[in-house]
Amino acid sequence: MLEQGTISIHTENIFPIIKKSLYSDHQIFLRELVSNAVDAIQKLKMVSRAGDYAGDIGEPEIEIVIDKNNKTLSISDNGIGMTAEEVKKYINQVAFSSAEEFIHKYQGKSDQPIIGHFGLGFYSSFMVAQKVEIDTLSYQEGAQAVHWSCDGSPEFTLDESSRTTRGTTITLTLQPEEEEYLESARIKSLVKTYCDFMPVPIKLEGEVLNKQKAPWRESPSNLSKEDYLEFYRYLYPFQEEPLLWVHLNTDYPFIINGILYFPKMRPDVDVTKGQIKLFCNQVFVSDNCEEIIPQFLMPMRGVIDSTDIPLNVSRSALQGDRTVRKIGDYIAKKVGDRLKELYRDNREQYISAWKDLGTFVKFGVLNDEKFKKQVEDIIVFRTTATAKVAEKAAATPAVEVQSSEGDVWQDVTPTSPSVENSATSIPYTTLKEYLERNKERHENKVFYCTDETSQATYVELHKNQGLEVLFMDSFIDTHFINFLEREYKDVKFTRVDSDLDNTLLDKDKAGEIVDPTTNKTKSEVIKELFEKALNKPKVNIRTEALKSDNPHGTPPAMVLLPEILRRLREMNAMMQQQTTEFPEDHILLVNTAHPLIQNLANLSQGSIIQGDGVSPSAQLVNMICQHVYDLALMSQKGFDGEGMKSFVERSNEVLTKLTEKVS
């Protein structure tokens, strides 16, 4: 026996701490031991290149051996090995890391990174083993192989070994409750999770378990589109193809490599939970990158690999410091640069991806001033504008290009078969382009829609009069409109159902001619009809003639919600975490130009509804007024059970009375 002694530690209970608390996951031990083996191989390459070793380094490999009979698991490498003095220095002194000392000695001699610089990685083996043995032979000429053994107490033995090949073997005699690591399937799974991209073949029973090549460490010029897609499919099987990707590669002022993907957004995706994998020198560390990735980029997927991200002793958590913040800023900038590049070079792809990208970009603009400045000119909105409208405009928007067929919207209309309704897609535009295009008709005024279905009537009304409407219908747009108003202080944003622009009204048909028999205008008569029929003092009845070449194509009535009041209600509901209730105070705009309303006014003339009479004609007028109101209301809110019951009953009654009159 060469020596017997005590491991140098600073507290008597260090081993219980290591066994129970060093790592949150016991399975991490395999990652640590394999990482050490990779380090040993990289160190041998470094001393060989430095001229300190003239022998043949051979083909590097790591071999894992399972012995179920003896309950042992061993990890062997053909790396640099250790002398007895090195074992005493690097193993017996807990928390002393050999990697940093080695890097300092051979700095500049190799581009191969050394993984370990935590010191306690080897001791993670005691979380699963009741006994740990080391057999090692140094690369140094004339070195004596040594055997180290420890049963998990501060006592160790160091003796000569019969080993004849250069390298190190770590043998773990597993604890009874940890014998799951004697199963091949379990080891294969752990290698795939933690060691898949380590640059050395890892073998079990002669089978190489890991891929070894890390695409993110490659130069982007060496990777094809299919290489990026294949890597994404490998990381996230059974998912839709990503929209685009960003390759990170810098070594100043910090080292970071990675590939980040924009995924197709699905309804079940939790946008607050990151899915980016964190690596350190190709060693998997964590699925949790919240401290590195800016929050608005959390739904991105892919890999980040950096030695400059500070990890705790277990490599499983990040510490928020200045370097991490700088890395986050760098990632956001690279994402912004990639989006601008795509907008400039392949606008069609950019537009087709905007449905998914828009949420990322808008959230980033709201939360990151630097990112906002990068992308503010490439934020686009779906619009009702047509080529005809664009031709009338003084300037052609930057998002439009003239194709050989003469369609000025060609470049912004998705044509991929995968894009929903690609053949009839509505063009996209930036806000600046919208304002420039419409400055002659309504300077510094933006008409927008938040629900294409419920607000379809209002949108159509604007379109028919040549007014362009922007669709701001994502869940984030309620907040984004407020942001835009702060950025464009002179611009007024008006939802299509908040009020009607004078362009939409026909003042010549407003019904202002006074009837000498009643001394009232037709508009006043209609207003009184609705006020009496509805009996809702909080509903403000307005009578206007909507401009149209086809009055039948316009609605007989519309419910309007004033912009400021509606926003206040939405804000209060959000602050109180409640749903926005439909306000009792609202405007019912009755279209006096619609044939139905004109017929209703004619039906009400004479003695039919004068006084307190309840003639059949008066009843019919009353029901039709309520029915028209209900139809207008349906575009703004759904009925509850009682409201729907009343609507159906009244509809049936109106139809019955109308058929009686016809017969």
Walking along the chain (663 residues) 10 residues at a time, the average pLDDT comes out as: 66 56 75 93 92 90 97 97 91 55 50 44 88 96 94 88 95 96 97 95 96 94 96 93 93 92 74 80 84 85 87 46 84 94 92 88 92 95 72 40 37 38 62 92 92 90 92 88 92 92 77 69 90 92 90 90 83 71 87 91 63 70 90 82 84 83 60
What is the secondary structure of 386-428 as a DSSP string? Answer: -HHHHHHSSS--TT-B--TT--TBGGGS---TTSTTGGGPPPE
Q: Please give the angle made by the CA atoms of 576, 578 and 580, to the nearest 5 degrees.
A: 115
Strands 586-591 and 539-544: parallel
Rounded-to-integer distance, Cα 306 and Cα 220, Å: 17
Total residue count of the chain as it appears in this document: 663
Distance CA 152, CA 16 (A): 9
CA distance 427 to 382: 6
Does residue 529 contact residue 604 with C-beta atoms inside 8 Å?
Answer: yes
Judge whether 31 and 145 are in contact, CB under 8 Å. no
Helix (H, G, I), strand (E, B) or coil at 197: coil
Q: What is the pLDDT of residue 272?
A: 64
d(CA 50, CA 656): 100
| Residue 401 to residue 428: CA distance in whole angstroms | 12
- Cα–Cα distance between 483 and 102 in angstroms, integer? 53
372 contacts: CB under 8 Å, gap ≥ 6: 364, 365, 366
Alpha-carbon gap, residue 428 to 424, rounded angstroms? 13
pLDDT at position 391: 44
Give the DSSP H or E segment for 642. helix 641-662
pLDDT at 509: 56
Whole-number Å distance between alpha carbons of 278 and 481: 35
pLDDT in tens, 517-564: 667 788 888 999 999 999 999 999 999 999 888 888 889 999 998 888
Partners of 204 in the beta sheet? Answer: 64, 207
Residue 124 pLDDT? 84
CA 582 from centroid of its chain's CA atoms: 31
For residue 278, the 8-state DSSP code is E
Q: Hey, what are 502's tokens?
A: 């004078």
144 token code pair: 């004596």
DSSP-assigned states of every residue in 104-157: HHTTTS-SPPP---SS-TGGGGGGTEEEEEEEEE-SSTTPPPEEEEE-SSSEEE
Residue 353 to residue 356: CA distance in whole angstroms = 6
Cβ proximity of 572 and 525 under 8 Å = no
CA-to-CA distance for 620 and 604, rounded, in angstroms?
10
Work out the angle at residue 357's Cα, subtended by the Cα atoms of residues 355 and 358, and round it to the nearest 5 degrees. 70
- CA-derived radius of gyration, the chain: 37
**Strand (E) or helix (H) holding 481:** helix 477-487
Q: What is the pLDDT of residue 403?
A: 37
Label residue 100 exposed, middle or buried (CB < 10 Å: 0-12, 13-18, 19+): middle
From 436, 508, 420, select the one nearest 468 (Cα to Cα).
Answer: 436
Q: What one-letter code names the amino acid at 160?
A: E
User: Hey, what amino acid is at 88?
Assistant: K
Type of residue found at 235: L
Query: What is the rounded CA–CA span in Å between residue 646 and residue 648?
Result: 6
